[in-house]
Chains A and B, each alone.
Chain A
Amino acid sequence: GAVVSQHPSRVICKSGTSVKIECRSLDFQATTMFWYRQFPKQSLMLMATSNEGSKATYEQGVEKDKFLINHASLTLSTLTVTSAHPEDSSFYICSARDIGLADPREFFGPGTRLTVL
């Protein structure tokens, strides 16, 4: 099946620093990728839709200046958490939609655990 990777798998940073998370579709092209955030024992909450070649679409309540998204190619989207604070600590998961498939199936990455000290 289609594979989506994320890097890094876990990161610990100091408060006030910025962290970049990469999401790659390894064996397919994705014009659309999605970024989710998941707090402990909770479900996935969509943060934003990343569109190749255009601006990301953010969900209500998600600060676009804090969570910068860049979808530079058909296989790579990056999420940068700027000026991270302890409340940004969470599990960040990306997904990618294969443009070659007729149905809108999403393939999920393994997630990145961010801990902000």
Chain B
Amino acid sequence: TQLLEQSPQFLSIQEGENLTVYCNSSSVFSSLQWYRQEPGEGPVLLVTVVTGGEVKKLKRLTFQFGDARKDSSLHITAAQPGDTGLYLCAFFKAAGNKLTFGGGTRVLVKP
């Protein structure tokens, strides 16, 4: 059982459309991280959300942390082919000192 459930698993959209990716759990987290991974490369950190209800923006990407700190979402406005990749949410497990990833959402933006 994944501690972090991501949905959808796969998303294919046309350039210019909007999309939202969800990361859910029954656990409460002190923080959540979002990564993007392109094929054949390692993941790159996009953002860390810490406060319940927090909203962070990174250009066309908007990240939200749920009020109860159990879930998070990533919204991309006017998606571009360069947004194509695997989006991963993750939390830092202090006990054990390690990062745990969700199952990932594969996003394909067609030109």
Residue of B41, B44, B45, B88 touching A43 (CB-CB under 8 A): B88
Query: Measured between C-beta atoms, what is the minimum distance from B18 to chain A in Å?
Result: 24
Interface residues of B in 87-111 (CB under 8 A from A): 88, 92, 97-104, 106
Q: Classify the interface of chain A: helix, strand, loop or mixed.
A: strand
A111 to B40, CA, bound (A): 7
Query: Measured between C-beta atoms, what is the minimum distance from A34 to chain B in Å?
Result: 7
Residue of B40, B43, B45 touching A44 (CB-CB under 8 A): B43
Spot the interface stretch: A12-20, A68-76, A101-109.
Answer: A101-109
Name the B residues within 8 Å of A91 (CB-CB).
40
Residue of B41, B97, B106 touching A110 (CB-CB under 8 A): B41
Residue A54 is within 8 A (CB to CB) of chain B in the complex: no
Name the B residues within 8 Å of A105 (CB-CB).
45, 48
Residue of A44, A104, A110 touching B101 (CB-CB under 8 A): A44
Name the B residues within 8 Å of A34 (CB-CB).
98-99
Query: Measured between C-beta atoms, what is the minimum distance from B88 to chain A in Å?
Result: 6
Contact B98 A49 (CB under 8 A): yes
Contact A43 B98 (CB under 8 A): no
A109 to B98, CA, bound (A): 16
Query: Measured between C-beta atoms, what is the minimum distance from A69 to chain B in Å?
Result: 14
Contact A42 B97 (CB under 8 A): no
Query: Measured between C-beta atoms, what is the minimum distance from A68 to chain B in Å?
Result: 19
- Binary interface profile of A, 1-42, with partner B (CB < 8 Å = 1, else 0)? 000100000000000000000000000000010100000011
- Binary interface profile of A, 80-109, with partner B (CB < 8 Å = 1, else 0)? 000000000001010100000001111011
On B, residues with C-beta under 8 Å from A are: 40-45, 48, 86, 88, 92, 97-104, 106
Q: List 11 A-B contacts (CB under 8 A).
A: A32-B97, A43-B86, A43-B88, A43-B101, A43-B102, A46-B100, A95-B99, A104-B92, A106-B45, A106-B99, A110-B40
